[in-house]
């Protein structure tokens, strides 16, 4: 059974940084389309950043230049480096793998507040 486990969330001040990790129990990072989503209270879940099996990345406009998605295939781990964080980045962040089946992690809370 495939499991995705996120870590690295927490409370950070505006302008700060966090790095989220998503550890996958099996090797899907090299073949699946992987992504980070977020959901703020009262809002729909949105794709923040995605990376294809070929390494092509995409970002929602609001995080371009601040967030970086990456993969370590040897560790079956997906990362999201988040810099220059803003209060509007506050949300639960989820990692996802899309392929023959779709997999989701349980989410990690990111709170940006002074």
Q: What is the mean pLDDT of each run of 10 residues along the chain (114 residues)?
A: 94 98 89 94 96 91 97 94 98 94 95 97
pLDDT (0 to 100) of residue 6: 96
Quote the pLDDT of residue 97: 93
Task: Please report the pLDDT score of residue 27 as a whole number.
Answer: 87
pLDDT at residue 26 in the model: 86
The secondary structure of 5-16, three-state, reads EEECCEEECCCC
């Amino acid at each position: 059974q495939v499991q995705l486990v996120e870590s690295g969330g927490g409370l950070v001040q505006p302008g700060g940084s966090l790095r989220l990790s998503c550890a996958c129990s099996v090797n899907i990072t090299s073949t699946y389309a992987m992504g980070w989503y977020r959901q703020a209270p009262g809002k729909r879940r949105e794709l923040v950043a995605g990376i294809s099996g070929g390494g092509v990345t995409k970002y929602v406009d609001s995080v371009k230049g601040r967030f970086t998605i990456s993969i370590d295939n040897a560790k079956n781990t997906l990362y999201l480096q988040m810099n220059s964080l803003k209060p509007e980045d506050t949300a639960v962040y989820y990692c996802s793998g899309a392929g023959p089946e779709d997999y989701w992690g349980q989410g990690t809370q990111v709170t940006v507040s002074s």
